């Protein structure tokens, strides 16, 4: 038998010097190395026990000032972990049974002290084993708590799959993912019934191949809940041989990846939309460059015109990026084009309800307004200090669309005696590209007081964008 390496620290409750010496001798003969503090009064027993540092209590049953059962009660309150062994000559069987029920570790009759060393060693060994077990259980509990917290943060559910019974043991997160009740064990068919039809075969093949090769299975699929909600689920499962080697047991995790899938789809949509818009922007720029090149009498004229027109495109793109490529305010586009010539916002008189243009139309409108503003600055009302441009618009709602009618009216400019006969880029843009792309019409008239242009276009019905409130810097 393995003896304790360190001396056993014993608190001995015994009033008889002779009995105390006999007990010490039997421990020595039994090979139990020990250090003993002996007391027989309640106060001394409580004081030393409260101080701590003991491995074992040996107690007589009858004492001058109190009894062993009272000492046992005190020990259970002050040091419930310490082994407590009665060593008495008067401990009857009924009292011994009561003492064991109340928490005593063992009892030894003084007439049979030969078994004392064995009882002490067993009590010490069992206490050490119990403490190691409790420590391991506490560590295991903490590990499970940390794992549970990590799984909870990651929103991952766990499962165990018995392939022989085709049953799954699900934790609470897995049950929540599949919108199941509180029953921990469910048949695999219950989960299969949630699969979207298009994903059933892919899941079946992936699982069967993994089971046959005892390989890890990683598969993503969709499920439809009873309320019609569709979720994207990812699972990873490792397979282990069952008790008979035939039916494997799977241990794995489920994760709701719906948000990730939605983000991936949104990202793909953004990439496609960006490709489309960049292509359109380059096509527009190419058209502007080609036409400006054809209609410019000199390179200097070409350079001046193309710089202004590309700048107009850049301004419209700035508005788009400020609105995250969403809808852009018609009024913002107009003011952006007029701002270089009307810094005080006095000569451009704008009037109309809020209108938000989609990105594919905003660049076209911006180019049109740029040409109209350029003509007004060169030849029309904005070429003289007193001239103004009145721009008003209205929206008429129909069943499937909205009709936007915008009027551009110049006043106070040089009198027009003869309408222009040469068609420049602006006229071509308005009459051809603008009318076709806007699915509407453009009417241009020149009166003595100035030009008047009416643009009518069809717009898809859309709500204005939600603009977050401005916060102080």
Per-residue DSSP letter, 213: H
pLDDT of 461 over the 60 cut: no
Q: What is the pLDDT of residues 241-291, one digit of tens each?
A: 766 666 678 889 999 999 888 888 878 766 775 665 566 567 656 756 775
- Beta strands 356-357 and 328-329, pairing class: antiparallel
Distance, in Å, from the CA atom of 67 to the CA atom of 93, rounded to the nearest integer, reads: 16
The distance from CA 162 to its chain's CA centroid, rounded to whole angstroms, is 31
* Residue 255 φ then ψ, to 5°: -140, 135
Tokens 């005190």 identify what position?
74
Give the mean pLDDT of the chain.
81
- Name beta bridge partners: 55: none
CA distances from 23 to 5, 66, 117 (A): 20, 21, 9
Identify the CATH homologous superfamily for domain 155-256: PAS domain (3.30.450.20)
- Name beta bridge partners: 162: 167, 249
The CATH label, of 3.40.640.10, 3.40.50.1860, 3.30.420.40, 3.40.50.2300, for the domain at 8-133 is 3.40.50.2300
Domain segments of the chain as ranges: 8-133, 155-256, 265-459
Q: Mean pLDDT check: name the lowest of 52-56, 235-239, 262-266.
A: 262-266
- Look at residue 230 in the predicted model and tell me its pLDDT: 92
- Look at residue 1 in the predicted model and tell me its pLDDT: 46
**Of 2-16, 144-158, 434-448, 459-473, which one has max mean pLDDT?**
2-16
Distance, in Å, from the CA atom of 130 to the CA atom of 122, rounded to the nearest integer, reads: 12
pLDDT of 468 over the 50 cut: no
- Look at residue 471 in the predicted model and tell me its pLDDT: 43
Q: Which two tokens stand for residue 131?
A: 């403490």
**Of 28-32, 186-190, 389-393, which one has max mean pLDDT?**
389-393
Q: Which residues contact 110 (CB under 8 A, 6 or more apart)?
A: 19, 22, 87, 88, 89
pLDDT of 79 over the 70 cut: yes
Tokens 């040089």 identify what position?
414
- Look at residue 243 in the predicted model and tell me its pLDDT: 64
pLDDT top residue among 366 and 32: 32
Region 46-53 average pLDDT = 92
- Beta strands 156-162 and 8-13, pairing class: unpaired
**CATH classification code of 265-459:** 3.30.565.10
pLDDT top residue among 8 and 96: 8
Distance, in Å, from the CA atom of 158 to the CA atom of 211, rounded to the nearest integer, reads: 18
Distance, in Å, from the CA atom of 445 to the CA atom of 454, rounded to the nearest integer, reads: 9
Q: What is the pLDDT of residues 374-406, one digit of tens each?
A: 788 888 888 888 889 999 999 998 877 889 999
Q: Which two tokens stand for residue 418?
A: 């003869």
Q: What is the pLDDT of residues 101-136, one digit of tens each?
A: 888 888 888 888 888 999 999 999 998 998 899 888
- Look at residue 469 in the predicted model and tell me its pLDDT: 46
- Look at residue 68 in the predicted model and tell me its pLDDT: 86
**Of 230-234, 339-343, 354-358, 379-383, which one has max mean pLDDT?**
230-234
DSSP string covering 40-67: -SHHHHHHHHHH---SEEEE-SB-SSSB
- Look at residue 49 in the predicted model and tell me its pLDDT: 92
Given a contact cutoff of 8 angstroms between Cβ atoms, the answer to whether 111 and 89 are in contact is yes
pLDDT of 314 over the 50 cut: yes
pLDDT top residue among 314 and 349: 349
Q: Could you tell me which of 305, 377, 369 has the C-alpha nearest to residue 347?
A: 377
Q: What is the pLDDT of residues 189-228, one digit of tens each?
A: 999 999 999 999 999 888 888 777 767 888 999 999 999 9
| Axis crossing angle, helix 299-322 with helix 359-378, rounded to the nearest 10 | 140
- Name beta bridge partners: 253: 158, 236
The Cα diameter of the chain in Å comes to 141
Q: Cα torsion for 164, 165, 167, 168, to the nearest 10°?
A: -30
Element (H, E) at 88: strand 84-88
Strands (DSSP E) found in 275-370: 328-329, 348-351, 356-357
Q: Which residues contact 119 (CB under 8 A, 6 or more apart)?
A: 85, 106, 108
Per-residue confidence band for 472, with pLDDT thresholds at 50, 70 and 90 = very low
């Amino acid at each position: 038998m393995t003896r304790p390496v360190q001396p056993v620290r014993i608190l001995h409750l015994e009033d008889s010097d002779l009995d105390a010496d006999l007990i010490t001798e039997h421990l020595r003969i039994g090979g139990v190395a020990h250090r003993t503090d002996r007391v027989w009064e309640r106060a001394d027993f409580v004081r030393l026990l409260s101080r701590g540092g003991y491995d074992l209590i040996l107690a007589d049953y009858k004492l001058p000032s109190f009894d062993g059962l009272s000492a046992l009660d005190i020990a259970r309150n002050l040091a419930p972990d310490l082994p407590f062994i009665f060593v008495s000559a008067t401990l009857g069987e009924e009292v011994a049974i009561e003492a064991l029920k109340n928490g005593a570790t063992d009892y030894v009759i003084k007439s049979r002290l030969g078994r004392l060393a064995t009882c002490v060693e067993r009590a010490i060994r069992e206490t050490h084993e119990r403490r190691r077990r409790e420590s391991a259980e506490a560590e295991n509990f903490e590990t499970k708590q940390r794992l549970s917290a990590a799984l909870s943060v990651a929103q991952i559910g766990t499962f165990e799959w018995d392939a022989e019974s085709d049953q799954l043991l699900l934790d609470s997160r897995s049950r929540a993912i599949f919108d199941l009740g509180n029953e921990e064990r469910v048949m695999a068919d219950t989960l299969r019934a949630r699969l979207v039809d298009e994903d059933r075969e892919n899941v079946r093949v992936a699982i069967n191949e993994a089971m046959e090769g005892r390989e890890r299975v990683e598969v993503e699929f969709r499920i439809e809940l009873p309320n019609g909600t569709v979720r994207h689920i990812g699972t990873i499962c490792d397979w282990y041989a069952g008790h008979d080697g035939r039916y494997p047991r799977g241990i794995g995790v489920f994760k709701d990846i719906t948000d990730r899938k939605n983000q991936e789809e949104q990202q793909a949509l953004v990439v496609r939309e960006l490709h489309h818009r960049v292509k359109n922007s380059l096509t527009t720029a190419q058209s502007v460059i080609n036409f400006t090149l054809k209609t410019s009498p000199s390179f200097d004229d070409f350079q001046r015109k193309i710089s202004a027109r590309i700048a107009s495109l850049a301004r419209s793109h700035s508005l788009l990026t400020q609105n995250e490529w969403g809808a852009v305010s018609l009024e913002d586009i107009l003011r952006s084009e007029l701002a270089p010539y009307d810094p005080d916002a006095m000569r451009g008189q704008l009037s109309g309800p809020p209108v938000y243009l989609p990105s594919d139309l905003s660049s076209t409108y911006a180019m049109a307004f740029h040409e109209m503003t350029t003509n007004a600055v060169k030849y029309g009302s904005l070429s003289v200090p007193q001239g103004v441009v009145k721009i008003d618009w209205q929206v008429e709602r129909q069943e499937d669309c909205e009709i936007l009618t915008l009027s551009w009216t110049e006043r106070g400019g040089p009198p027009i005696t003869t309408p222009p006969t040469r068609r420049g880029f602006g006229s071509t843009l308005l009459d051809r590209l603008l009318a076709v792309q806007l699915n509407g019409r453009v009417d241009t008239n020149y009166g003595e007081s100035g030009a008047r242009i009416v643009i009518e276009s069809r717009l898809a019905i859309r709500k204005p964008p939600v603009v977050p409130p401005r916060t102080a810097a």
